[in-house]
Structure 1
Amino acid sequence: MKHLPIGFIDSGYGGLTVVKQSLRQLPNESIIYVGDNARAPYGPRSLTEVKQYIWQLTNFLREKGIKMLVIACNTGTAAALDDLRQTLAIPVVGVIHSGCRAAIKQTKTGHIGVIGTQGTIDSGMYRDTLQEKSAKLNIQSVAAPEFVEIVEQNQIEDPAVHDIVQKRLAPFIGNDVDTLVLGCTHYPLMKQAIQDVVGSSVYLIDSGRETINEVSTLLDYFHLSRSAEEAAAAPPTQQFYTTGNPRLFARFAQKWLNDGSVYVHPLEIKGEYLVDNHTNR
């Protein structure tokens, strides 16, 4: 079982921020990633629809064989985490609870900001999780759907981005928010633009980084982690799939992961199934 890869799923590019942390913190582990770029973004969709998509991605990875599933998508976590945990026989990790724990640990004022897609914010999962852990917290949530579009369209370095970020994050300026949760895995790709707007006194919580800390703990707890010796005997592998354009995805992944060898397999959506028509590289 421990030789199997960790599975990662997301609506598009954003989950690569989680994968990047996995490659840094868990170098002995193999990974397999599916980005559902053809149906991104998930934020404006109903949670019922998103749950259906998450199950499609999950079933594809189950057929491939995985030892743990990481829902590297906040909207997907809000829509399907509980359902997946109740159904699957393997550990399932979302990105919301880890980010909440880190925010509570970090804040000094007790005033925490959360930004996410419309679906994530409307679900109330961040607010509920934070207040469940500490009723004294002051939670301020703002939907920032444009940020996902900016990342998916690879416009992060566009000069207009600063004005967009400044307008969207205006509610956080001038109050005592000292911790801001990046409640979408796309957002760390815009971390510099966000930090420039909110200022250096506000600590940004990268849910992807915090999630991999939890993944590492669970791998050890369930005796699923691979040792350096095992990795030397059977080197870890990385597999990437997308329902969108594989060339665009590969270009983005190569740059973000700083690995020019990244190859991306195309997936075709056929009814309730995802089909890999290119089983060989």
Structure 2
Amino acid sequence: MSLKEAARKPIGVFDSGVGGLSVLNELRAQLPGEDLIYLGDTARVPYGTKSSLSITRYATQAARALIEQDIKCLVIACNTASAVAVEPLRASYPYLKVIGVVEPGADACGRVTRTNHIAVIATESTINNQAYQKAILSRDPSCVIQALPCSLFVALAEEGWHEGPLVEAIIKRSLEPLIAAQVSHFKKPIDTLVLGCTHFPALKRPIANVLGEAVQLVDSAETTALYAKNMLSCEKLLNPQRVGQTRFMVTDGPERFARIAPLFFSEEVLSSEVELVDIQHYAERQNSH
């Protein structure tokens, strides 16, 4: 297959639900010519409270469903799945470019921080897995990292509670350990906060209001899209077409998915255009080969 033919293949994107649409939105902005296929595993959301074994199994099934669409690149638009399953997927599919959201976020921290005191907020599984902590420290062992689970933020984002005094009050209460650290014994204050869940960019404004201008926010959706763009460019796999198409697949509730999608994605999503799929079917086909 020629590079020109490979470049015209779509990019596959998957998440445990709708939060990964924030990554899809950035991919569409950065790569307008690409065909994108998004799979939301809405039947089993959230991944953030599941075991590593279950997350890897779900991610493998989602990946297989997208690989059967003949994709050129797989973007794991889920911090939890990236933290747990990116290496198993790379090992299973060495011929495929697999991009998670953790590594681009860790790279961005090194470019942004000036005090080397970094905070990470994410789901419980992502924090417990220490994926961001390990990735950041592997790049700069001198960094001091505070990690805080903020699973409640997922519910706020999905319900459309993206701003206002009540939202800021909830965020302030949730981030109290980080706020306290700003005036504690640390010689250098936190100056960088990683939004380690793809739902969290929807809350960027109230989080910034609570923490103040001294703390820079690293958006994993934006950094992942830029990473994908650079990678495809280097591999000469950018699609030359002017306008790409977007397909949506979910494992449950296409109507609810279409209703919530505008909270994370800038284009209209019609429920009639959201395909309902059974990714267990893909796993069974994979295992039978």
Same fold? TM cut 0.5: yes
Superposition deviation, residue 182 in structure 1:
0.3
Question: Alpha-carbon deviations, 1:21-76, whole Å to 9, x = none?
Answer: 11111111110001112211111111110111111111111111211000011100
SS of corresponding position for 2:39:
strand
- Paired with 1:2 and 1:156, the residues of 2 have a C-alpha distance of 37
Superposition deviation, residue 157 in structure 1:
4.9
- Paired with 1:262 and 1:22, the residues of 2 have a C-alpha distance of 20
SS of corresponding position for 1:257:
coil
Q: What residue number does 2:205 align with?
A: 192
Q: What residue number does 1:93 align with?
A: 99
Paired residue for 2:276, among 261, 267, 278?
267
- Paired with 2:198 and 2:50, the residues of 1 have a C-alpha distance of 17
Q: What residue number does 2:260 align with?
A: 252
SS of corresponding position for 1:132:
helix
Paired residue for 1:142, among 133, 142, 148?
148
Paired residue for 2:216, among 199, 203, 209?
203
Indicate yes or no: 2:15 matched with 1:10.
yes
Paired residue for 2:129, among 120, 123, 126?
123
Closer, same or farther in 2 for the Cα pair 1:131/1:178, shift >3 Å? same
User: What letter matches 1:265 in structure 2?
Assistant: V
Indicate yes or no: 2:232 matched with 1:219.
yes
SS of corresponding position for 1:8:
strand
User: What letter matches 2:265 in structure 1?
Assistant: L
Superposition deviation, residue 259 in structure 1:
2.1
SS of corresponding position for 2:7:
coil
Q: So what's the TM-score if we normalise by structure 1?
A: 0.90
- Paired with 2:148 and 2:129, the residues of 1 have a C-alpha distance of 12
Question: Alpha-carbon deviations, 1:222-253, whole Å to 9, x = none?
Answer: 221112xxx14xx4210011223212211222
Question: Alpha-carbon deviations, 1:109-129, whole Å to 9, x = none?
Answer: 110000000000000111111
Question: Alpha-carbon deviations, 1:165-221, whole Å to 9, x = none?
Answer: 111111111511110000011100111121121112110000111111111111122
Contact 1:41 1:149 in 2 (8 A): no
Q: What residue number does 1:61 align with?
A: 66
SS of corresponding position for 2:207:
helix
Q: Which runs of 5+ in 2 are unaligned?
A: 1-5, 183-188, 285-289
Q: What residue number does 2:57 align with?
A: 52
Superposition deviation, residue 149 in structure 1:
2.1
Q: What residue number does 1:278 align with?
A: none
- Paired with 1:137 and 1:201, the residues of 2 have a C-alpha distance of 17
- Paired with 1:59 and 1:252, the residues of 2 have a C-alpha distance of 25
User: What letter matches 2:134 in structure 1?
Assistant: D
- Paired with 2:253 and 2:163, the residues of 1 have a C-alpha distance of 21
Q: What residue number does 2:190 align with?
A: 177
Report the identity percentage: 36
- Paired with 1:96 and 1:255, the residues of 2 have a C-alpha distance of 22
Q: What residue number does 1:240 align with?
A: 248
User: What letter matches 1:151 in structure 2?
Assistant: A
Contact 1:41 1:148 in 2 (8 A): no
- Paired with 1:261 and 1:140, the residues of 2 have a C-alpha distance of 37
Paired residue for 2:139, among 129, 133, 152?
133
Superposition deviation, residue 2 in structure 1:
1.3
The count of corresponding residues between Structure 1 and Structure 2 is 270
Contact 2:78 2:197 in 1 (8 A): yes
Closer, same or farther in 2 for the Cα pair 1:153/1:86, shift >3 Å? same
- Paired with 1:216 and 1:137, the residues of 2 have a C-alpha distance of 28
